[in-house]
Each structure stands twice: as structure tokens, then as C-alpha cells.
Structure 1
Amino acid sequence: MDRRSFLAKASVGGATAAAAATLAAPAIAQSNPRITWRLASSFPKSLDVLYGGAESLNRYLSEATDGNFTIQPFAAGELVGPMQVQDAVSEGTVEACHTVGYYFWGKDPTFALATSIPFSLSARGMNAFLYYGGGNELYNEFLAGHNIVGYPGGNSGAQMGGWFRKEINTTEDLRGLKFRVGGFAGKVLEQLGVVPQQIAAGDIYQALERGTIDAAEWVGPYDDEKLGFVKVAPYYYAPGVWEGGPTLHFYFNKPAYDDLPAQYKSLLQTATRAVNNDVLADYDWRNPPALKVLAAQGAQLRWFPKEVMDDMFTAANSTYAEYEASNPHFARMWGAIKDFRRDHYTWSQVTEYTYDTYMMIKQNEGAL
């Protein structure tokens, strides 16, 4: 082959490669379009595990798409208030939010079912029901009426029952008790004479200190320790029967979600699953040392007597029966949860409970 022939062929080959590269670039860009969403969180940055879930979601999506798909988080109050995030997503003011559904139970109690209501499922039970028991499908059928698509986005595990200025020995001790407690649980506890109070996190300490309220529940040791409740309400009760497995959710504006490319929808579902696991694992890691710190600061750990929990259980079932009779969405989803709940706690007794109980005995014996 002479030099002129070689150069001619090389030029043709180079031109072909260049053309292929030119043709390929738009195809790649088209399959991974640049999309930037805004997310309104219901949580302040100081609650780093909760707020961090939204940061993690953005990081996972951005890293997987070379920065083409991002969801920028904004802390509570930066765009809208913590209780207005669902409206903002429904109306399309923002494309996403990170929240807990029971914040909006006043609009419809069905919002709370995929988060937590008293005596529902544990964190593992909620994950099983939502992912494999049809729970998320049922929830999204309901959310569609609010222009929303939702996916689980974290869990704290069973929460603590709260900080009390006095001991609770009988149900009678609850009567007249001014208790800062979440809305849906407050609806149940009202039947036992509790006076529910809605107070923002930053105001709880002063309310306890001044005696404006008698008790307050928040989350668990890691978050509670930051707020200093042990200094003004030393009795730290467990368990938080109203939040046995509280699930956070990412809500997405339905039209915006429906317009996503298929690969972005799939990635979004995968990334939210990762965050859901992250948040629970993070709390399981942080709560044990935080409980030790609280004990050193004077927290007196107590457990609600069985009589008190039994009365709470009865009050909860009475409340649910009212909603089941009047709200088809609530009745359908709560019925599915109850059906699974029976089997879940039957199975849990067989091996998990037995294993954990034995290991707790060995821990108390100082053998671990």
C-alpha cells in the first residue's frame, strides 16, 4: 500500500469515527437528560439523620447519572413550612418532599397508615408490607388523588414513649396530662383523658421547663439528647406504642414523575430504597451510645405498665373502627395491614424474638 492510499483510507476511517462520535453524543444526552428538581424537607438540618436522607437521595442520583439528574434538598422553612410540604408537591410548587405522612392525617387519616399509627407494624414489618405486601401500591392509589407518587424514605425504628415530669403507674395518671404528641396518636390518647399539644421542636424544652406541658415525645435517644429534655422531665418512657415503625416518605409531584424517562424512574425507586435502609441503620448505630449519655445525665428509664398499654390499645381500635366505617381508603389499607400484622407477629415469635430475648439475657448477665 502506498503512502497516499494509506492516508486516504485513514482519513476516511477517522472521519467515520468522528461522525460516529458526533452521532452518539446526542443519543446519550437524550437518554440521560439534565433534570433538576427541588425537594422541601419537613426536617431541620440539625436533625442530621432525618434531613440527611434527602441529601443522600440527591447524592445517589447525581453520582449514578454523572450529575444529570439531581434533587436539591431544602431544610424545613427554607421553601415552605414543615407541614406545608405535601401541599407544595401536590400543587407542583416543588417536585419533591421528604416527610412523614401522619403530619397530614387531619386532611385524611389514610395519610398516616404508611407512616405509623398506634399498635401497627415494626420497622421490619412496615418494610415487608410496603415493598412486598402491596402496601405501597395501596398507598399510591390513595396518593394519586392528591397528585402524588410516594416511596418509603427512612425509618427510625420503634420510638421512645416520651419524657414525663412524673411517673405513669396507671391509666388514671394520664388524665389531664398535657402531652406534646403527634396528631394521630393524640387523637387516640384523648380517649384516655390526655390533652394533646402541638408544639414545634424548638419550643418543647421551654414548655416542659415552665410546666406549660407535662410530657413530650420526640423520636429516640440520638435526637432527644440534642434537645436536652432530660434536664426538665427526667422520666424517659418506652415503648412509643404510637410509633412502632414510623416510615418516612419521599413524595413526588405526579406529573413531574410521570414525565421522567423510564431509567430515571427505576433509579429513583432504587435510590429511595437505599435511603430507607440508610436511615434505619444510622439510627440503630447512633441510639445505643446516645442512651448511655442520657442515663449519665440523669434520665430515669421507665416502661409503660401493661394496663396502660392495654387501655391505649383499646382506645386505638375504637378510633380505627370509626374511620373504617366512614373512609373507604382507610378501611382498605388498614384491613391489609391487620391481615399481615397477625402473621408478622406470629412469625416474629418463632425465632427473632427467641434469639433476641436470649441475647438480651446474656447481655444482662454481662456475658457479651
Structure 2
Amino acid sequence: MTQQTKHISRRHALAGGASIIAAPALIGKASAAEKVTWKVQSHWPKASSSFGDSLQLIADELKANTEGQFELQLFGAGEFAKGGEIFNIVRKGVVEMGTISPGYIQGEAVTAGLALGVPGTFREPWEFSHFLKNMGFEALFNEDLAKYGVVSRAEKIYPTELVVSKPVNSLEDFSTLKLRSSGSYLKFLEAAGASTQSIAGPELYSSLASGVVDGAHWGAAQGAMSMSLWEVAKFHMKPTMGLAMDTLIMNQGAVDALSPDLRAEFFNLVDLRFWKRTTEYQYKEKLALSKGQAEMNVAVSQFPDDVLKKFSEASGAILKEESAKGGNAAKATDMLVSFLKGMGYI
């Protein structure tokens, strides 16, 4: 991604603050006739909270800010592709944009495991946000994606929490669980004895209801509520296992084909939405968990100490594995370890 995508238009320079979103876009005369529609394949089912609260909102604001010149046509999980297939259809230009978890592309980008979020490292959303935006991790992640002609922007930072269908009072209890997971969380959960498998979002509820798995993580409280997971998995486990990010990915050719005005409008919008959405998400997490307890008999349970000990050991091992990948993964792991030491976490 060049500095061109970071250009701030005259309107944005003068407006500032929340008025960036509220004010109508000033599209230059040269591009006044331009009309762009991008197809967007999401990994979120349309029932997921992030589809409506994030992706639909971005589409609505982009259309309003450009007075209808730039529209996003949204597709829920599986309509064109799902999971790991989304990266390839964006890369090939079948669709111009998608949403994914970085856990889906660990074979393509050495920094994808760190982008997903190493469990047991960051404790607060601002920490991951700082690492991503201010310490330069997002730039390293984009360096790895550039060879595929793909551009990434973080959509939000969110907590990852497990819901299970039966109580966990000991390491022995935990070792009997079959869990849906992804990315480095697979190793994290396996280190405490659970068996894991990857299941796409649309099949997650039925897999829990039928007993194919005993538990899963789909974000945290909001994900569990919007996907109806609490109906079949009443135990919501604390503390947060880790912080993760979802990302918006765009085809580089489609980005380059935009006029400078539309390109600046788009990236200004998604960059601002990251900060707003990350903050909003934490607030809605509190509301969702309170509602689950009050209306759905959800029980908030704590991982036993012996399970937490296994998690801690696994986190250190995962960091070593990420560093061993070399390249930008080694650079980013060094950055992360330095941050964690500065915070007194390790």
C-alpha cells in the first residue's frame, strides 16, 4: 500500500472529529461521473453481530459519504465462498473485497498467526491496537500480503472467549472437551488437553447442538448471542483467552482503479471505523453478557488454575513458533515480546 491511500482530502483536513462521517463527500469534478460497486464476501454469516454492526454500517456510510458513487454489495458467509476460500477470490479479483480472520491465511502470510492474536499475550484491546497501528505491525502484515495483490485494514480488535455445554472444574474435565477453534487457539486449547477442530460459522450451531463439539469460540459474548450458541452451550468461560482481530481485505487492482478521491474516502472511513468499532465492541460485550445471564441463564465460569497454567505455557511456546517462521514474523514477535516485557507481563 502506497502513501496515496493515506492521503487526507481537503474536506477531511478541515472537518476533523466525528464530522468526517457526517459531512457529505466533496468528490472532484474529474471523477463526478464515476460509479463504483464492489462485491464484498464476508466470513460472517448475516446473523452475526459484526455483519450488521460493522460491514453493513461501512457500506451505508460509504454510499452516503460519496453520494452514491461508491457502493458495496454485501454477501454473507458461503454465498460466494467461506472461510479460507475468501482470500483467494479477493486475490483473483472474483470479488473486490472480503472480510476474514487472519487465522484463515497462515499458509500465505508468515505474520498471519500474530495478526490473529497470540492467546495469553495482550490483556486489553488498546494494547493490541497500539501494537497494530502505532508500533507498525499492520504495515508488516501488508508487506506479506502485497505479493498476492491484497491489501488489509484491521476491522476491529475483539476478545476471544470460550462457551461450553458442560461445567469445567478441573484440568481433567477440560481434557474431555471437543472444541471448535482456529489458528493459534487450536494449539492453546490442545495444550490443556482438549481436542479441537475447525468448523465454519454456518455449521457451528448445529455442531454444538448435535454434540459434534462441546464448545466453541466465535468472538466472545456478542458472537455467542448473535449465533445462538448460548442456547446449547450455557457456560461462558473467563478470563478472556486472548484478543484477536478481524480484517478487511481488498484486491490491489480494484484499489488502484479507484479515483484518488474515492480511494481517500474509502480508507479514511475504514481507518476511522476501526477505532470506533473496537471501542463500541467492548461496550456491547458488557451488555450482551449481562443479557445472557439475566435472560438465558448463562453461567459465567472461571477456568481452573491448572488449566490456566497450561495456557500460560502454551502462550510462550506459540510465541517461539511464530518467531521461528522468520522474516516479518520474527520482527513482529520481537516487537511483541518487547511490549509484553515493558508491561511487566513476562
TM-score, length basis structure 2 = 0.81
Q: CA deviation at 1:44?
A: 1.4
The amino acid across from 1:160 in the alignment is E
Q: CA deviation at 1:321?
A: 1.6
Structure 2 residue 156 is matched with structure 1 residue 154: yes
Q: Which structure has the greater CA radius of gyration?
A: 1
**Given the superposition, is the C-alpha separation of residues 328 and 176 from structure 1 closer, same or farther in structure 2, using an over 3 Å criterion?**
farther
Q: Deviations over 1:159-209 (max 9, x none)?
A: 323224121423x43324211122321133323322112223444444434
Aligned equivalent of 2:289: 291
Aligned equivalent of 2:145: 143
Structure 2 residue 126 is matched with structure 1 residue 124: yes
**Given the superposition, is the C-alpha separation of residues 180 and 130 from structure 1 closer, same or farther in structure 2, using an over 3 Å criterion?**
same
Q: CA deviation at 1:138?
A: 0.9
**Given the superposition, is the C-alpha separation of residues 320 and 299 from structure 1 closer, same or farther in structure 2, using an over 3 Å criterion?**
same
Structure 2 residue 36 is matched with structure 1 residue 35: yes
**Given the superposition, is the C-alpha separation of residues 230 and 30 from structure 1 closer, same or farther in structure 2, using an over 3 Å criterion?**
closer
SS at match of 1:44: coil
- Count of aligned residue pairs for this structure pair: 317
CA contact (8 A) 1:40 1:80 kept: yes
**Given the superposition, is the C-alpha separation of residues 27 and 93 from structure 1 closer, same or farther in structure 2, using an over 3 Å criterion?**
same
Structure 2 residue 340 is matched with structure 1 residue 338: no
**Given the superposition, is the C-alpha separation of residues 61 and 328 from structure 1 closer, same or farther in structure 2, using an over 3 Å criterion?**
same
Aligned equivalent of 1:223: 223
Structure 2 segments unaligned to the other structure (5+ residues): 1-26
CA contact (8 A) 1:83 1:103 kept: yes
- Which structure has more relative contact order (CA 8 Å, sep 6+)? It is 2
Q: Deviations over 1:28-87 (max 9, x none)?
A: 043673222211111111113344422222222222222222232222222222331111
**Given the superposition, is the C-alpha separation of residues 140 and 227 from structure 1 closer, same or farther in structure 2, using an over 3 Å criterion?**
closer
Query: Where do 1:68-83 residues align within 5 Å?
Result: 68-83=69-84
TM-score, length basis structure 1 = 0.77
Aligned equivalent of 1:95: 96
Q: CA deviation at 1:96?
A: 0.9
Q: Deviations over 1:200-229 (max 9, x none)?
A: 344444443443323222222233134444
Q: CA RMSD in A?
A: 2.6
Higher helix share: 1
The amino acid across from 2:35 in the alignment is R
**Given the superposition, is the C-alpha separation of residues 78 and 61 from structure 1 closer, same or farther in structure 2, using an over 3 Å criterion?**
same
CA contact (8 A) 1:61 1:268 kept: yes
Query: Where do 1:1-368 residues align within 5 Å?
Result: 28-30=29-31, 33-121=34-122, 122-156=124-158, 158-170=159-171, 172-241=172-241, 243-244=242-243, 246-296=244-294, 297-343=296-342, 345=343
Identity of aligned residues (%): 23
SS at match of 1:320: helix
SS at match of 1:114: helix
Deviation >6 Å, runs of 4+: none
SS at match of 1:77: coil
CA contact (8 A) 2:44 2:51 kept: yes
**Given the superposition, is the C-alpha separation of residues 117 and 164 from structure 1 closer, same or farther in structure 2, using an over 3 Å criterion?**
farther
